[in-house]
Amino acid sequence: MQTCANCGNTAQDMFSITRDEMTRHFDSFECAIHMMAPRCAHCQCAILGHPVRKEGGAFCCSHCAEGSESSQVPTQ
């Protein structure tokens, strides 16, 4: 039996995801998404599809990509 890297449940029917030479085991897609999906630079939600890229950031949608400009704190 293996243990889910996210929730700690143990089960026989797990699946594995390898990224950057690190393999993690999960019992559900929900756990895998929670732990491994990239986060929107504006609202921090999990990005499940292709991200909207703008100025080096990854965003969940064009609304967040546009809104990111107004939420940035100016540097001095």
Query: Cα(45)–Cα(63) distance, rounded to whole angstroms?
Result: 13
| pLDDT recorded at residue 69 | 65
Torsion of CA 17, 29, 31, 20, to 10 degrees: 20
Q: 23 or 71: which carries more pLDDT confidence? A: 23
Q: How buried is residue 62: exposed, middle or buried, by Cβ count under 10 Å (0-12/13-18/19+)?
A: exposed
Specify the pTM. Answer: 0.73
Quick: pLDDT tens for 17-69: 999 999 999 999 999 999 999 999 999 999 999 999 999 999 999 999 998 76
